[in-house]
Structure 1
């Protein structure tokens, strides 16, 4: 049964033609951000997807999504401040990953402002601040300078992350992600200490979520060596799951699914951040190649087909699935989500390309 859920040897599903949005005139705008008028076929496709599946993007400040998400051209700053409500009106967007919380803790009020912009059925995936999840204090250009004394501090994780998310987002909180930044070699050689610290953070998190058991807690790592039976034991012991991190610092999706299989039954949490072809340090190159982020410039049909198969298996077994996609995965996150949706629900009545 598990092999059926996670297998990835199906041939790629023929892709239906993209669904065009009803695009408004591309004139610069200010003020409120309005959603583009989406065609009926897109709403039908959304209705054909598993109800426990939530797909979305990482950030939403991209003028290039004019005609796909927005009804015109808006500035980056306008979209950053006012675009979330329009994004949440896209039929396929039922979640978003709040990435900026990784760089500095956000307040309860900031989370509440986000929650007030989206419908009741929308759910947020939020990343823990790196003051908790990075073992090193880093300089301006990312180089580690010294050990971080607050690394995996359970109290700090709750006060700076879990409780503000819970109090601000309320029932719209879907997933808490602890992304463990790349570790120095000394810590990779002493994983027993790491597992004890992680267990303490997860135990504290679950205690804080005692009245919100539906919130998924996920751990993402950036060191392949950490995909071990010991990590699986810690996650299972504390009701957490593993977050698939699809980018150049980690193995492709297939080996990560082998690890996820150890946790079954478990929800699916996946963050598809970067096309593997760009390597571990390829974000800038991907941005340069993909800008203005309105086309599938670096289509990865292999990863997408496996991810679609995984989503169908896991949601078919009654488990929830959260999948967020970055522009750096294929060039345009909304189009990647559309293509993935078409492969998850190939019987949606759409004509093949």
Structure 2
């Protein structure tokens, strides 16, 4: 394949039992599958080359990894592999949702929203302790839909990125389409932070996101192909399970993805492309189709 080394393909997490017989051919005990299958994920080949050179660790949205967890990953990943990590939700949600898992905090404002000290002390330190930096892809700040004004959100984002270490890379994923535009672009560009082009239920098409942004904002870009547009998450999950096959191709998503990746490569930017099963039904097959188109 003549795929540019600037492009890294991966999936949203790697621990899907539905991929056994496809990505995973070794026998695993059910109790150890999630801990042991990362190495085989990294070795999975398409057209005689490793297909995945990155992956998104979604679990770190719910709690930061420990240094020991990161060391276990190091034991399984090859030298040229980078893992992208979702940032702990304690830093990215301005108000706790009314969900039982938040207990007494449900519905309350989050005093730790975009707290740079918390991020440095509880999120970043384990990466340094484990010496994981060479394998750390962009940290992904996923901001779900919220009621902050564009001015307040951009101001808080600007203040946060002024205070965090510059030796890691950061990317911001928004779910409020109204934030796309010059103010948001200016904040990201000022700090070398990437916008995450997310193909998600209620966001515009990827090409439209780029039109509103005007240009890339960092030396790298991130694309996350999550769900079909105009389809709620639960409906997408039900449609795609058990993630063993393509249930429906999304031609516009594929076209826009390829065009954005090509633009990034022409401009000599790295491109991290992360595919979720819930977009078309089986992320590895979607990745293969995108590789073929590129």
TM-score between the two structures when normalised by the length of structure 2: 0.90
* Corresponding residue of 1:120: 79
* Corresponding residue of 2:21: 67
Return the offset for 1:197: 1.8
Distance 1:216 1:323, change over 3 A: same
Question: Any idea what SS the aligned residue of 1:147 has?
Answer: coil
Question: Any idea what SS the aligned residue of 1:336 has?
Answer: helix
Contact preservation (8 Å) 2:201, 2:233: no
- Looking at structure 2, the residues matched to 167 and 224 of structure 1 have their Cα atoms a distance apart, in angstroms, of 37
Over the aligned positions, Cα root-mean-square deviation in angstroms equals: 2.0
Return the offset for 1:308: 1.1
Distance 1:134 1:337, change over 3 A: same
1:105-254 paired onto structure 2 within 5 Å: 105-140=64-99, 145-168=107-130, 169-184=132-147, 187-188=148-149, 191-205=150-164, 208-209=165-166, 212=167, 215-254=168-207
For residues 282-310 of structure 1, what are the alpha-carbon distances to aligned partners after superposition, in whole Å with 9 as ceiling and x for unaligned? Answer: 22222222222111102112211221122
Return the offset for 1:103: 1.1
TM-score between the two structures when normalised by the length of structure 1: 0.75
* Corresponding residue of 1:99: 58
1:9-48 paired onto structure 2 within 5 Å: 45=1, 48=2
Return the offset for 1:313: 2.3
Contact preservation (8 Å) 2:8, 2:272: yes
For structure 1, the 5+ residue unaligned runs are: 1-44, 345-353
Return the offset for 1:252: 1.5
| Bigger radius of gyration among the two | 1
Return the offset for 1:255: 1.4
Question: Any idea what SS the aligned residue of 1:96 has?
Answer: strand
Q: Which runs of 4+ in 1 moved over 4 A?
A: 72-77, 141-144
Distance 1:167 1:276, change over 3 A: farther
Contact preservation (8 Å) 2:192, 2:217: no
Higher alpha-carbon deviation: 192-201 or 53-62: 192-201
Question: Any idea what SS the aligned residue of 2:76 has?
Answer: coil
- Looking at structure 1, the residues matched to 43 and 194 of structure 2 have their Cα atoms a distance apart, in angstroms, of 29
